Homo-oligomer: A and B are copies of this chain.
Amino acid sequence: MAERKPIKQYLMIPGPTPIPTRILAAMNHEMIGHRGPGFSKILGEVIDGLKWAYQTKNDIMVYPCSGTGGMETAVVNVLSAGDKTLHVNIGNFGDRWIKIAKTYGVDVTDLKIERGKACDPKVLEAELAKDKNKEFKAVFMQQNETSTGVINDVKALAEVVHKSHPDALVVVDAVSGLLAADLKTDDWGLDVVCSGSQKAFMVPPGIAAVSMSAKAWKAYEKSTLPKHYWDIKNQKKFADKGQTYTTPPESIVFGMHEAIKIIKEEGLENIFKRHENNKDIVRNAMKAIGCKLLADDECASPAVTAIFPPDGVDAEKVRSEIRNRFGVELAPGQGDLKGKLFRIGHLGYVDKLELVATIGALELLFNQLGAKVEIGKGVKVALETI
């Protein structure tokens, strides 16, 4: 039989993730007054749920924007022009945060780590030790770096900062990492943490959330960077009334409201384990068929895996062919890695059997694109890893 055209889509990018029908249904909701009591109740419950997911008692604000907006919010609310910051930079989103900070005149030190590696806490320790006058006001880091599929040991990195620079803020981009892996905002002393609706929350993009510790609020009072839309104190004034400063993307808030119920039903530990298992399925299978992975096992992301295709197979060809023939949407390499690798997103509403199926499709494709791969070998390993 001739190969049939795909009738279904398998969205395997590191966000937006597929959306559960329960969440889509919750979003299919009429608009209500965003300054009225009905909306306040829903928004309050969303923020309580975010606090549960962040494992924090800190304030959390919700902004109408993408994850990058959350990253900009983190910069402009705690810094002033000329402030010195250290940026743990393990990939494209590390680069982006540096670019944002420099845009506002922050004096950035770029602790650039080889792509595909996490930041070794000892490397951070050594870098901080060079700053003898303790001038760094904040240390920025990604929990999970989407472009490379690498997860940082935020707990260990934060400890190093606290020990070396007790006055510095720890600022974490948890956009693609939150819920995919453990993040204890309060226990680990994380001052500012940003996240996005479209990742492991399984909700469409449109909302970023940003948490602020008491220490971060103190830094706010000294911060002179210009801010209006991102001004978090202004946002808090409205949050205290159960509102957002500007008109909230209500549909996304309704989606988050349902998402909070779903993730609470599953429980944090189970969510972390599910993502961990997704990672193992993909990595074990891809290794079995001889593909090189960008990230080492010890820093491999539970949210996304960056994979080099077999020798002689073009990564972008893999992406276009698997889309056209199997309906599987994979992510490209980013920055310097564009064209060299593809990425499988396995966070949020991505199921283990969908990963098995994707691996099967890749086995077929690799062969048809000229690489010799034993059909079923990766699939078997994937199944055995479940």
By a beta-carbon cutoff of 8 Å, the part of chain A in contact with chain B is: 9, 11, 13, 15-19, 24-25, 27-36, 64-69, 72, 99-100, 103-105, 196, 198, 204-206, 226-229, 245-252, 323, 329, 331-332
Contact = CB atoms under 8 A, between A and B. Distances in A.
Contacts of A27: 27-28, 251
Nearest to A104: B226
A88 to B, nearest CB: 19
B16 A250 contact: yes
A28 to B, nearest CB: 5
Contacts of A204: 31, 249-251
A195 to B, nearest CB: 13
A329 B31 CA distance: 11
A11 B35 contact: no
Nearest to A12: B33
B227 A103 contact: yes
Contacts of A229: 65, 68-69, 72, 100
A18 B30 contact: yes
Given A32-B329, A65-B229, 14 more contacts: A11-B32, A11-B33, A13-B33, A16-B247, A24-B29, A35-B331, A36-B323, A65-B65, A67-B246, A68-B229, A68-B246, A99-B228, A205-B248, A251-B252
27 contacts: A11-B33, A15-B247, A16-B247, A19-B30, A24-B29, A25-B28, A27-B251, A32-B329, A33-B323, A36-B329, A64-B65, A64-B66, A65-B69, A66-B246, A66-B247, A66-B248, A68-B229, A103-B227, A104-B226, A105-B226, A196-B247, A204-B250, A205-B247, A205-B250, A206-B206, A206-B252, A249-B252
Given A11-B33, A249-B206, A251-B204, A103 B16 contact: no
How many copies of this chain sit in the oligomeric assembly?
A: 2
Nearest to A334: B35
A18, A66, A67, A227 pick with most chain B CB within 10 angstroms: A66
A238 to B, nearest CB: 12
Contact of A228 (B9, B103, B226): B103
A80 B250 CA distance: 34
Contacts of A17: 31
A226 B162 CA distance: 31
B24 A28 contact: yes
Given A28-B28, A226-B226, A247 B67 contact: yes
Contacts of A11: 30-33
Contact of A16 (B9, B34, B100, B205): B34
Contacts of A18: 30-31
B249 A205 contact: yes
A9 B35 contact: no
A251 B23 CA distance: 12
A311 to B, nearest CB: 26
Q: Which 9 A-B pairs have the closest CB atoms?
A: A206-B249, A66-B246, A16-B31, A68-B246, A33-B329, A204-B251, A205-B247, A66-B247, A103-B228
Given A249-B206, A332-B35, A228 B72 contact: yes
B332 A103 contact: no
